Copies of this chain bind each other. A is one copy, B any other.
Amino acid sequence: MSQPTVAELGELELLKRLQPFCESALIGDDAAVLPPRSQATVITTDMLVDGVHFSDRTTPPQAIGWRAIAANLSDLAAMGSVPTEITVGLALPGHTPVHWVEQVYEGMAACLRQYGGKIVGGDVVRSPQPVIAITALGTVAPQRVIRRDRAQPGQVILATGWHGASRAGLELLLQPDLQTPLSASDRQTFIQAHQYPVPRLDIVELFDALEDDEFGAIAGMDSSDGLANAVLWLCQASGVGAQLMRSRLPLPQAFTPWLSDATALDWCLYGGEDFELVLCLPAEIALELLPVLGSQASIIGTVAASPEVLLMDDVGDRSPLTLTWESCFQHF
């Protein structure tokens, strides 16, 4: 089976191969044209670097494409917007197999088919190291944008989904021979969480039921850099603090027979890449949302006036733990 590289195929032929994944002509004009829109546009951009943010060792090319898109759609969801357009910049070594590039695009297209948004433009260039740059646009009514700086003392903190699952999946991928008490289904769930994370655009749909004036009392962001990071950001941006309850942290149940308390806590708070949403909002709105979200969300604590972010030990009798930026993922 012939496996041509991008250098063998050449730029023009490569763009032709990628054309079916794209809405408008990738190679037709200097830029894409989007129609006028009456709503606000949300714009976000992410770079992913081979060996830093993805690796063939843990992530097949379809998953690399899926994750790159999912991370950006998660940012759009965190702002309360729905995805509309995407641009894709790819920097690739000449020896990259064309098939690899096509599979990355397949993964991106699959994620976009499921959650919305179309590839409208891009750039493919030569580089010693593969790098993917995604810019995603979304749309939202201006008065319904979710921001970080609106958390208020007395509000509850709601986290969607489980936290630590992506980190667990990464561990299983890095150590395929690791002995664990996990069921095959739990293993698969964790690996899926790492390779094919779900941007929570379903939450944006739920927001449709809220009135415009309720948005002024909702702060939110995604947990791409970890649950602790999200709570710290929301608190710093709003000039408040928080008390999280140890018993309410959204740890996957399968952690209990597998991990020590310390590791489970670490992965849940600092693992990152779960792409869930963390919201600070009045209890009455949270209680409207929770029944619809089911086991997929929980109230993990409350917003406090004093600026510390404390993890309260409501199961044992240890003193509160202060969460700090130092433990969080830093890009450098």
- Chain A interface residues toward B at CB < 8 A: 6-7, 9-12, 14, 28-49, 51-53, 74-76, 78-79, 81, 85, 87-92, 94, 120-129, 131, 133, 135, 137-138, 140, 142, 145, 147-149, 221-222, 237, 325, 330-332
Contacts and interface: CB of A to CB of B under 8 A. Distances in A.
A60 to B, nearest CB: 22
Contact of A131 (B122, B131, B145): B131
Given A43-B85, A89-B133, A332-B94, A33 B126 contact: no
Nearest to A332: B7
Contacts of A133: 45, 47, 89, 131, 133, 135
Contact of A44 (B12, B30, B49, B125): B30
Nearest to A77: B30
B30 A221 contact: yes
A9 to B, nearest CB: 8
B237 A28 contact: yes
A31 B123 contact: no
Contacts of A149: 28
Count of identical protomers in the assembly: 2
B10 A125 contact: no
B30 A122 contact: no
A40 B44 contact: no
A33 B123 contact: no
A47 B330 contact: no
Contacts of A53: 125
A42 B332 CA distance: 33
A237 to B, nearest CB: 7
Contact of A43 (B31, B48, B91, B332): B31
A138 to B, nearest CB: 7
A128 B51 contact: yes
A294 to B, nearest CB: 25
Nearest to A72: B31
Contact of A87 (B12, B30, B135, B222): B135
The CB with the most chain B CB atoms within 10 A, among A35, A46, A81, A127, is that of A127
A250 B145 CA distance: 50
Given A28-B149, A135-B135, A34 B40 contact: yes
A135 to B, nearest CB: 4
The CB with the most chain B CB atoms within 10 A, among A29, A39, A42, A46, is that of A29
Contacts of A87: 43-45, 135
Contacts of A47: 89-91, 123, 125, 127, 131, 133
A43 B43 CA distance: 11
B332 A14 contact: yes
Contacts of A49: 91, 125-128, 131
